[in-house]
């Protein structure tokens, strides 16, 4: 089934995105230098491979859930271990190659499949990245299986393997100031073990899917990001247009102004996401999201208040919620107000609120806490979810002889008057990374 966007909506969306990109470009033009971290440059084929670089990681995860996702009496305990190994050649005449592989194995899994966290539990051995890259000064193009990162389309590297995408991306600029165009055909989730022309809305990823195994032609888009220092202020912004083929089209932009001097450094951010389209796999999609963030930094402490409003539309998917084919039930992407366990855009439309405080009391240690409230409704005429989530977390990066080791733990508690139970989840990760 192919998507047929309304012509007027498409013209308006494309026109607005062009204006947003024009706002980004002056910021981009302020920094025309190549990033320092590039593969070594060599002059012959043998050196191209012998002077390549290896990197990798070993990870162990333990997910424990009580009343998992508000299913009363469903307790899950899942331990998986594994990791990845990557290799990138040196650069010869502007060309380099990259390849990676991942493996995930269970440990002490319950015999009852319902007691296993589906986002962590599967066993796989997979080829990950396999790409060729050409770079000349500020211009680069990458073709093949690759990590790819734009709003709502990201590696989301929260498990053993990251999400990967198969296609072509081209970039002009530096790490912080660039423009980018892309066309991706297939996707590999963190649990699939192979590339597919489906998305997170399909039954293979979402057990509640209403579209079964319907395939998609992928996605394409263009956008850019930039940063600029003006006196004591730092300005950051990005703008993107993405066509999720067979689903919808998205225009997204955000900006942030922050003080870069002083003991207390306040900041303010704003964001907007607009989607339009009809006759797609999920039916009509008309979504508008607006967000605001207020925060302040003091030494290592970062405190912020977050707000996002999704305009209700009873004739649109999930009452006007944002459609994100590669982030559904995975992450809230760049949305300011978001819970940790679930995703804002998967809960419906309305208002979402959040507050978070984090800091580094000592070298290598990060502590944080947050609260989110989802005053959202997915079906008109039904009660609001009014979900509260309380979150605490800690991360520690070892140094010295233990450099490369990292321990991370998140504990979240969710409650909602629309649910008959309370949901607890703890996520523990131990990782050793090298060559990165």
The contacts of residue 176 (CB under 8 Å, 6+ apart) are 31, 225, 226, 227
Domains of the chain, each with CATH number or no CATH: 7-434 (2.40.160.10)
Q: How far apart are CA 252 and CA 199, in angstroms?
A: 20
pLDDT of residue 276: 93
pLDDT of residue 428: 98
**What six digits make up the tokens of 174?**
């530096």
pLDDT of residue 382: 94
- The DSSP letter of residue 344 is G
Q: What is the pTM of this model?
A: 0.90
Segments in the chain below pLDDT 50: 1-14, 16-36
Q: How far apart are CA 193 and CA 142, in angstroms?
A: 22
Q: What are 221's strand-pairing partners?
A: 182, 242
Q: How far apart are CA 90 and CA 97, in angstroms?
A: 8
pLDDT of residue 37: 58
Q: Specify whether the backbone of 354 is left (phi greater than 0), alpha (psi in -120 to 50) or beta.
A: beta
Q: Which residue has the tokens 């009496």?
A: 73
In 3D space, the residue among 125, 138, 201 whose CA is nearest the CA of residue 171 turns out to be 138
**What six digits make up the tokens of 173?**
């600029």
In 3D space, the residue among 320, 168, 150, 155 whose CA is nearest the CA of residue 242 turns out to be 150
pLDDT of residue 191: 84
pLDDT of residue 34: 42
Please say whether the beta carbons of 89 and 98 come within 8 A.
Answer: yes
């Amino acid at each position: 089934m192919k998507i047929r966007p309304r012509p007027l909506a498409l013209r308006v969306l494309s026109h607005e995105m062009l204006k947003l990109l024009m706002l980004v470009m002056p910021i981009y033009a302020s920094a025309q230098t190549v990033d320092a971290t590039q593969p070594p440059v060599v002059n012959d084929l043998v050196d191209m491979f012998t002077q390549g670089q290896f990197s990798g990681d070993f990870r162990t995860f333990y997910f424990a859930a009580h009343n998992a996702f508000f299913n009363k009496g469903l307790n899950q305990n899942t331990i998986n271990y594994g990791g990845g190994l990557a290799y990138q050649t040196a650069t010869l005449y502007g060309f380099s190659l990259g390849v990676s592989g991942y493996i995930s194995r269970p440990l002490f899994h319950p015999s009852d499949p319902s007691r296993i966290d589906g986002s962590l539990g599967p066993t796989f051995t997979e080829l990950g990245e396999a790409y060729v890259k050409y770079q000349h000064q500020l211009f680069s193009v990458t073709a093949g299986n690759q990590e790819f990162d734009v709003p709502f389309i990201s590696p989301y590297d929260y498990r053993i393997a990251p999400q990967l995408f198969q296609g072509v991306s081209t970039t002009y600029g530096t790490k912080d100031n660039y423009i980018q165009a892309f066309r991706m055909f297939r996707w590999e989730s963190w649990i699939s073990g192979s590339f597919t022309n489906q998305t997170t809305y399909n039954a293979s990823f979402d057990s509640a899917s209403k579209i079964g195994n319907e395939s998609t032609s992928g996605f394409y888009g263009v956008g850019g990001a930039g940063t600029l220092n003006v006196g004591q202020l730092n300005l950051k912004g990005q703008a993107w247009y993405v066509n999720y083929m067979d689903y919808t089209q998205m225009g997204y932009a955000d900006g942030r102004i922050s003080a870069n001097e002083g003991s207390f450094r306040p900041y303010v951010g704003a964001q907007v996401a607009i989607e339009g389209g009809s006759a797609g796999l999920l039916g009509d999609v008309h979504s508008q999201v607006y967000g605001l963030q207020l925060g302040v930094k003091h030494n290592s402490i970062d405190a912020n208040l977050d707000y996002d409003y999704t305009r209700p539309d009873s004739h649109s998917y999930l009452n006007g919620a944002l459609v994100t084919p590669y982030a559904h039930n995975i992450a809230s992407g760049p949305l300011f107000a978001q819970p940790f366990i679930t995703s804002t855009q998967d809960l419906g439309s309305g208002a979402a609120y959040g507050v978070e405080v984090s800091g580094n009391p000592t070298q290598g240690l990060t502590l944080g806490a947050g609260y989110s409230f989802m005053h959202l409704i997915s079906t008109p005429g039904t009660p609001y979810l009014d979900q509260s989530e309380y979150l605490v977390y800690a991360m520690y990066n070892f140094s010295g002889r233990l450099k490369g080791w990292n321990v991370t733990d998140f504990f979240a508690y969710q409650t909602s008057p629309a649910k008959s139970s309370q949901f607890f989840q703890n996520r523990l990760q131990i990782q050793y990374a090298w060559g990165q």
